[in-house]
Amino acid sequence: MTGLLRSWVDSANEPEGAFPLNNLPYGVFSVAGGTPRCGTAIGDRILDLQALEETGTLDFGGTLLTGSWNAFMALGTMEWSRLRKTLTDLLKEGSDAKDKLAAHLVPIADAQMHMPFAVSEYTDFYAGRHHAFNVGTMFRGPENALPPNWLHIPIGYNGRASSVAVSGTDVRRPHGQLKGPNDEVPRFGPSQRFDIELEMGAIVGQPSNGPISVATAFENIFGYVLLNDWSARDIQAWEYQPLGPFQAKATMTTISPWIVTAAALEPFRVSTPERDFELLPYLQEPGPMLYDIDLEVGLTPEGGNETVISRTNYREMYYSAAQQLAHHTSCGCPMRVGDLLGSGTISGPEKGNRGSLLELSWGGKEPIEIDGGTRSFIEDGDTMTLRGSANGNGYRIGFGQCTGKLLPARD
């Protein structure tokens, strides 16, 4: 595996930093109330790419002047590679561009992050075996935990692009129809079993008009973000039959602010797990399509200290984003630039690897310990934080934090 690529930006050479030269993730930022601008993270700084296109240092047809990455994504893989190589050459140790670029570096601490791209459509999958087995066991018992189709097909549903928000956006406890096991009729009220789902999001960077193969999916996937699919479990329990999640998943989906490119994650590819059944040919993978990315969830009560409640890894998924994209397009469904695919909850085999409070507390029956108390589900004032990094030889590929604070339901 390639070691740390050294940069003239000194903070990018720290082994524990999230944004070395190996990474170069893309985001949208503003400073002091200014307009949103495209940038890339390097060490503890953001390189203002809009300024570099304005001055002619970069030339990507004006796509870096838009305050969003959609127009650049639409240029395709050759331009994706050209920008990454150009930035690497400009920022590497010994580059003669140091004096010219130094004026366009902004401290990350001084920046406000915005949505890095406009979400065209949002699809969420249910593709983590440990999560699916845990949830199925709670509701149907271990013998019938996985639906008959689960080991053959990546199950998903179409979510709400309008409610995808960037890290740091507060989330409001939702209202909905609730019905307990002993209630004759439902009532309307605030969710009492509000939860998170630890996921990765894959961003589609090229449009399609017909099936995409697993083998060519990486020509369409621009990059990845951390994704928290907030979930109202009690609303979901009443509404999901027979058509699946609806209002329970529509409150908000939070993503991390930096798009980590597929190119940056290339050294960390790993294979999906062994199969119980051979997949149909259109879903079979020609090589490793998952990534070795360490993930964790932190819960911070209002006025308290954070407790890390879960640690797992993206390699635990049963279906990769490439397989999800291939299945999504197999019926002829067209994809758009900016489509977002949620991986599904990422849980591992042990209790401490579970990616939702539903699993961690086993439906509320086994509350977990946190700083100053316990939790079965999220309480008002709690801040939930997702983190992730691929760990290389002397460097890390980080995503930035994916955070959200739960506010009380409106009266």
Active site members: 131
Cα separation, 235 vs 225, in Å, equals: 27
Number of C-beta neighbours around residue 12 at 10 A: 27
């240092």: which residue's tokens?
57
Q: What are phi and psi of 402, to 5 degrees?
A: -120, 100
Provide the residue type at 100 as one letter: K
CB 113 within 8 A of CB 257: yes
> Could you tell me how far CA 267 lies from the centroid of its own chain?
19
3 state SS of 384: strand
Cα separation, 235 vs 99, in Å, equals: 56
CB 361 within 8 A of CB 375: yes
Task: Specify the length of the chain in residues.
Answer: 411
Alpha helices in 330-365 (DSSP H): 357-360
Cα separation, 32 vs 37, in Å, equals: 12
DSSP state of 140: H
Alpha-carbon torsion (368, 344, 273, 134), positive or negative: positive
